[in-house]
Amino acid sequence: MSEATITQTHWLARIYVTLKSGVVDPQGDTILGALRQLHFDSVAGVRMGKYLEVTLTAADDAAARATVEAMCTTLLANPVIERYTFEVAPVTS
Amino acid sequence: MSEATITQTHWLARIYVTLKSGVVDPQGDTILGALRQLHFDSVAGVRMGKYLEVTLTAADDAAARATVEAMCTTLLANPVIERYTFEVAPVTS
């Protein structure tokens, strides 16, 4: 066989999903109200988002990023009301 | 009056709340199952967390950090099962 051996590395993707600006955020508003009740009067606003840590195997950085991008668009974020960002780093074990 | 004028600056705190390792994460497991069903076979694990953006006013960096720390311990994170990290930056408007 002449196929090259592809070494798979483990990667950790940190994914941040936030509501687009202008989208009503009832969860954030509720937390803001609770903080005010606890006398955190200096708080001006709260926006609630999601944070995911995904471990995956991939041949290289570009492959890992492509997979995470695909995950975000097909499952993890709702493109109508949410935006997402992520960073990918090799797992040192 | 001899009181010094304190200039209040706006700060943006990015707060990350994650489950401690070892704590069962049903939401993350559900997302992992869904990703596998979508043929993302390279995914090894998913941990679900929360991401909050809090805007607040404070005199300086130290004051802003102290306020965010107090928010996390009193409302935003459950210290029994969760850990939190945050970063604070001045809002340039």
Q: Which of B40, B45, B57 is opposite residue A44, by nearest beta carbon? A: B57
Helix (H) or strand (E) run with residue A60 in it: none
**Across A58-79, average pLDDT:** 96
In this predicted structure, what is the pLDDT of residue A2?
A: 46
| Domains in chain B: boundaries | 9-90
In this predicted structure, what is the pLDDT of residue A18?
A: 97
Using CA coordinates, name the residue in chain A closest to B45. A55
Is A16 within 8 Å of A51 (Cβ atoms)? yes
In this predicted structure, what is the pLDDT of residue B1?
A: 46
Dihedral over alpha carbons B28, B84, B12, A49 (to 10 degrees): 10
Q: Give residue B38's identity as a one-letter amino acid code.
A: L
List pLDDT tens digits, range B26-76: 999 999 999 999 999 999 999 999 999 999 999 999 999 999 999 999 999
Helix/strand/coil for A80: coil
What's CA B58's distance to the chain center, in Å? 18
| Distances from the Cα of B33 to the Cα of A24, A64, B28, B58, B89, angstroms | 30, 19, 9, 43, 37
Residue A4 has pLDDT above 90, yes or no: no
Confidence of residue A8 (pLDDT cuts 50, 70, 90): confident
In this predicted structure, what is the pLDDT of residue B92?
A: 80
In this predicted structure, what is the pLDDT of residue B71?
A: 97
In this predicted structure, what is the pLDDT of residue A5?
A: 63
In chain A, what is the straight-line distance between the N-terminal and C-terminal CA atoms, in Å?
31
**Across A33-54, average pLDDT:** 97
For domain A9-90, say whether CATH 3.30.1280.10 is its number. yes
In this predicted structure, what is the pLDDT of residue B2?
A: 46
Kindly report the three-state secondary structure assignment for every residue of chain B: CCCCCCCCEEEEEEEEEEECCCCCCHHHHHHHHHHHHCCCCCEEEEEEEEEEEEEEEECCHHHHHHHHHHHHHHHHCCCCCEEEEEEEEECCC
Whole-angstrom Cα Rg for chain A: 19
Task: Tally C-beta pairs within 8 A across A and B.
Answer: 96
**Across A12-36, average pLDDT:** 97
- Residues from A contacting B (CB-CB < 8 Å) are 8, 10, 16-18, 28, 31, 34-35, 38, 40, 42-58, 67, 70-71, 74-76
Helix (H) or strand (E) run with residue A28 in it: helix A26-37
Residue from A64, A67, A34 nearest A48 by CA: A34
